[in-house]
Structure 1
Amino acid sequence: MPELPDLDVVADALHAALAGRPVASARAVMPLAVRGTPAELEALARQRVARVARTGKFLDLQLERDRVVVNPMLTGRFQLAGRGEKAPSGVAVELSFGPRGGGPPPDAARWTTGAGWLPADGAPVVVRFRDPTQMGKVYLLPAGVERVIPGMGPGEMGPDALDPALTLDEWRARIRKHPGELKNLLRNQAFVAGIGNAYSDEILHAARLQPFRKRSTLAPEEVDELYVAMRVTLGDAVRLLRERVPPTFEKQVRDHLAVHNRGGEACPRCGSRITQVTAGGFPTGYCRSCQR
């Protein structure tokens, strides 16, 4: 499942590659993945890209007039390709873009500057959203049309986990309202947005906290340590993935994780065996020795 670090890198890369380009064509290879009408999809043509951004675990393509919001769910991935480049299997939606003048946008992420994988401004570009399980959804949001996106409605999405506005004081105030298990809390997008199954394990390992422990049992210093672990773990992952992911943006890099999906291996901190259990259909990895 793409999470905050994965989508942060994809959004930065696509913004640098696409901003200023006009949509040449939009094609629904798997129409069931699209929430919108064929006419709305066709109307994307000739609109220029204003911005590509990440909102929680969604990718938001903002055009001159309309928006396209993608929820990749468990298996959705993105491909940045040249026109004519062979498409992988499982493509749900394909957007083609024309050339642009003036180079990358001035607000492109610094790490993308001069990147060898950036397509030439005069060359056409194709972005494909592929999802073999067809769980992900592509929402078309024409200007003036209200369309509910599950997970983005009022009260459904909390502050972004890396938002500077989510200060330690704000974190303390928000977490007091949630007495449940810590892993479920971190995965609750209404509490904080962007964290999924993998990085919740990593954050809790960094904070030395058990995933099934109740928030109501945390001491004040543990609440603060969890906040720091969240910011450091996600920030470090974003920086690592900027180096490891391009130009194959459909690749999901997970080999840097300390405990997630590493059941039976040695804990990198204390050397004890990592425990992996499946709860609610999702694997949870943690160390019984150094997570309290």
Structure 2
Amino acid sequence: MPELPEVESLGAFLREHAVGKAVARIDVAAVAALKTYDPPVSALQGLAVTGASRHGKFLDIDVDGLHLVVHLARAGWLRWRAELPAAPPRPSRKNPLALRVHLDDGSGFDLTEAGTKKGLAVYVVRDALEVPGVAGLGIDPLGSEFTPEALYALTQGSRTRIKGLLRDQKIIAGIGNAYSDEVLHAAKMSPYKIAGTLSEGEAADLHGVITTTLNDAVERSRGLAAGDLKSEKKLGLRVHGRTGQPCPVCGDTIREVSFADSSFQYCPTCQTGGKPLADRRMSRLLR
């Protein structure tokens, strides 16, 4: 799933390659991906792209005052193309294309989504805050308001595990499964630690790790083409998605905890005092 660093980088890419160009046409290949109807998507035609920004994991493309807001969900992506085909795409369940934006110089981009479980969402609104997911976002971890004191205040009284708190978009906007794994590994903190038990010092240390991890990921992606961002993310991850591999810090084997539709990775030596966390999937198999 694209998270804050990738969406930040997609915004930067569009500011360089799309701003100043006019929308010539928009083809909707997957009607279910379009979540709004007023204004219609056709209202963007003829207007110039004037900016691109991010709200948590939402990409916000400013088209002369109207906003094309995109949430890429689990398997969505933005694919830039220097030259788009003139013929409209044919809708098909097997076609990953959801929406195509043609610009007036022949370039543009596709919004695609792999797999059968569809979650990609596209909104055309007059204000990004009209999108419910944007309006409900918590603090931005790269914003000036995200201070050690603010993070400590967010944890106080919480009975949520710290892994869950970091992923809760209504609390902290932009961190998902992958970067929460990376943050907790770098902080040497168990994913199961109860957020409300953090001391002020622990919260301050965690704050530093969060900002450093995210800023480093954004910096690694700076200047990359949109198509290269996924591979850069994978190369930069130290524990997430690396089950069974040696920890780059201590050499212990990276373990995994699996759930119905997701999993997370961690290092027992670095994060849990050498104790493996219970994997519910394995527990069921052993019954």
Q: Give the TM-score normalised by the residue count of structure 1.
A: 0.83
Q: Residues 55-134 of structure 1 correspond to what in structure 2 (within 5 A)? A: 55-84=55-84, 89-98=95-104, 123-133=105-115, 134=118
Q: CA RMSD of the aligned region, Å? A: 2.3
In structure 2, which of residues 233, 244, 247 is the aligned counterpart of residue 267 of structure 1?
247
Q: Distance in 2 between matches of 1:251 and 1:197?
A: 15
1:65-103: CA deviation from partner (whole Å, max 9, x where unpaired): 3111101100010011122369994110011111xxxxx
In structure 1, which of residues 122, 129, 135 is the aligned counterpart of residue 119 of structure 2?
135
Could you tell me whether the CA contact under 8 Å between 1:11 and 1:59 is conserved in 2?
Answer: yes
Q: Check 1:275–1:191 CA distance in 2 against 1; reply closer, same or farther (3 A cut).
A: same
Q: Is 1:157 the counterpart of 2:141 in the alignment?
A: no
Q: Distance in 1 between matches of 2:129 and 2:252?
A: 49
Instruction: Flag structure 2 segments of 5+ consecutive residues without an equivalent.
Output: 273-287
The runs of at least 4 aligned residues of structure 1 exceeding 4 Å deviation read: 85-89
Q: What is the aligned length?
A: 263
Q: Secondary structure at the match of 1:96?
A: strand
| Match of residue 284 from structure 2 | none
Equivalent AA in structure 2 for residue 175 of structure 1: T
1:128-157: CA deviation from partner (whole Å, max 9, x where unpaired): 1001343101011147xx99534223xx21
Q: Check 1:38–1:170 CA distance in 2 against 1; reply closer, same or farther (3 A cut).
A: closer
Q: Distance in 2 between matches of 1:282 and 1:94?
A: 29
Q: Secondary structure at the match of 1:152?
A: helix
| Match of residue 109 from structure 1 | none
| Match of residue 36 from structure 2 | 36
1:31-50: CA deviation from partner (whole Å, max 9, x where unpaired): 11112239711111011111
Equivalent AA in structure 2 for residue 285 of structure 1: Q
Question: Which structure features the higher share of helix residues?
Answer: 2
Q: Secondary structure at the match of 1:179?
A: coil
| Match of residue 191 from structure 2 | 211
Q: Distance in 2 between matches of 1:248 and 1:71?
A: 17
Q: Is 1:242 the counterpart of 2:226 in the alignment?
A: no
Could you tell me whether the CA contact under 8 Å between 2:252 and 2:267 is conserved in 1?
Answer: yes
The alignment-based identity, stated in percent, is 30
Q: Distance in 2 between matches of 1:268 and 1:65?
A: 47
Q: Distance in 2 between matches of 1:147 and 1:26?
A: 23
Q: Distance in 1 between matches of 2:30 and 2:229?
A: 18
Equivalent AA in structure 1 for residue 124 of structure 2: L
Q: Secondary structure at the match of 1:221?
A: helix
1:86-132: CA deviation from partner (whole Å, max 9, x where unpaired): 9994110011111xxxxxxxxxxxxxxxxxxxxxxxx4321110013
In structure 2, which of residues 179, 184, 189 is the aligned counterpart of residue 199 of structure 1?
179
Q: Check 1:238–1:39 CA distance in 2 against 1; reply closer, same or farther (3 A cut).
A: closer
Q: Distance in 1 between matches of 2:170 and 2:38?
A: 32
Instruction: Flag structure 1 segments of 5+ consecutive residues without an equivalent.
Output: 99-122
| Match of residue 282 from structure 1 | 262
